[in-house]
Amino acid sequence: ELLFGSCVLFCLFCANPKGKNSHTPKQDKKEGMSSHVSRLKNLFEAKAQELEATKIPQSSSAGPRGLRGGQQNTNARRGGALPPTPQHPSSFARQPVERGPLPPTPPARTESKAEKTEDELREEREREEDQRREEERRMQEETLREERAREEERRKQEDEERRRQEDEERMREEKRLTEQKKKEEEEARKREEMREEERRKEEERREE
């Protein structure tokens, strides 16, 4: 960019018509070289300070910033120095990217240990699930045994009650039969006594 600007300044300085500045052709012939060198020196120093301050990378193929292709700075036509190029560090400067430290790569042994721990946890969960199912099965079996025991006890009590009722019924029937038999025997004895009394009376009447 500095080289390009120097060439442009030199060309414009040589093509500057009379009356455009304070120098005459004769003075330019005598002092042109020293004046041009002084201006180039000042331009180089200004550009160097500007680049040092901004630290923005400049493209060697591009023209002055802010000028499109085919355009020239109007200040250069008047033989003046190029104005300082406006810089926008916040927009064009390369901001350093802050990167934190990379996380340490876990070794394969740690991964194997983690996988082993995961397998152990899964096996432990499976064992706990098996124990829970086994406990539920034992509880169900215990409940069924208790229900069967209560059912057997109930049937046993019912059988005992039925046998007791049957025994009582049988005893009542036997007692009734015994009383009936006694009554029949008593009646038969009374009838026999009455017949015996009638025979005796009949014999007595016959004897009389």
User: Which tens digit of pLDDT belongs to each residue from 171-206?
Assistant: 999 999 999 999 999 999 999 999 999 998 898 888
Residues 128 and 184 in one domain: yes
pTM over 0.85: no
Domain enclosing residue 148, as ranges: 120-208
Residue 59 located in a structural domain: yes
Residues 205 and 138 in one domain: yes
How confident is the model at residue 7, as a pLDDT? 80
Residue 94 located in a structural domain: no
Residue 104 located in a structural domain: no
How confident is the model at residue 89, as a pLDDT? 47
Residue 81 located in a structural domain: yes
Q: What is the DSSP letter of 71?
A: -
How confident is the model at residue 205, as a pLDDT? 87
More confident residue, 62 or 51: 51
Residue 38 located in a structural domain: yes
- Give me the residue label for tokens 């039969």: 177
- Backbone phi, psi, residue 45, to 5°: -65, -40
User: Cα–Cα distances in Å, from 159 out to 153, 164, 168, 172?
Assistant: 10, 8, 14, 20
**pLDDT at 130 > cutoff 70:** yes
Residues 57 and 7 in one domain: yes
